[in-house]
Amino acid sequence: METNTTKLKNGIVTIFLSVLSLAFLAPILIVFMNSFKGKFYISDAPFRFPDSTTFAGMKNYVSGIAKTNFMSAFGMSLFITVCSVAVIILFTSMTAWYITRVKSKFNNALYYVFVFSMIVPFQMVMFTMTKVANTLNLDNPFGIILIYLGFGAGLSVFMFSGFVKSIPIEIEEAVMMDGCNPVQAFFKVVLPILKPTAITISILNVMWVWNDYLLPALVIGNEYKTIPVAIQYLKGGFGSIDMGAMMAMLVLAIVPIVIFYLTSQKHIIEGVVAGAVKG
pLDDT in tens, 137-169: 888 999 999 999 999 999 999 989 988 888 888
| CB contact set of 212 (below 8 Å; sequence gap of 6+) | 226, 228
Burial 164-188 (b: 16+ CB within 10 A, else e): beebeeeebeebeeeebeeeebbee
d(CA 145, CA 139): 10
pLDDT at 268 (0 to 100): 63
CB 131 within 8 A of CB 189: no
pLDDT at 76 (0 to 100): 93
Domain segments of the chain as ranges: 69-233
Nearest Cα residue to 30 out of 261, 228, 240, 251: 251
Percent of the chain with pLDDT over 90: 18
d(CA 76, CA 210): 10
pLDDT band at 77; cut points 50, 70, 90: very high
Over residues 240-271, the pLDDT tens digits come to 777 888 888 989 898 888 888 788 777 666 65
Across the chain, what does the average pLDDT equal?
85
pLDDT value at 92 more than 80:
yes
* CATH 1.10.3720.10 describes domain 69-233: yes
Between 44-48, 164-168, 194-198, the lowest mean confidence (pLDDT) is in: 44-48
Between 47-56, 71-80, 183-192, 267-276, the lowest mean confidence (pLDDT) is in: 267-276
pLDDT value at 275 more than 50:
no
pLDDT value at 60 more than 60:
yes
Strand partners, 235: 241
**Mean of pLDDT values over 181-190:** 86
**Mean of pLDDT values over 205-218:** 90
pLDDT band at 278; cut points 50, 70, 90: very low
pLDDT at 87 (0 to 100): 96
pLDDT value at 1 more than 50:
no
Nearest Cα residue to 89 out of 219, 11, 206: 206
DSSP at 224: S
| CB contact set of 47 (below 8 Å; sequence gap of 6+) | 30
pLDDT at 276 (0 to 100): 44
d(CA 119, CA 125): 12
d(CA 198, CA 121): 25
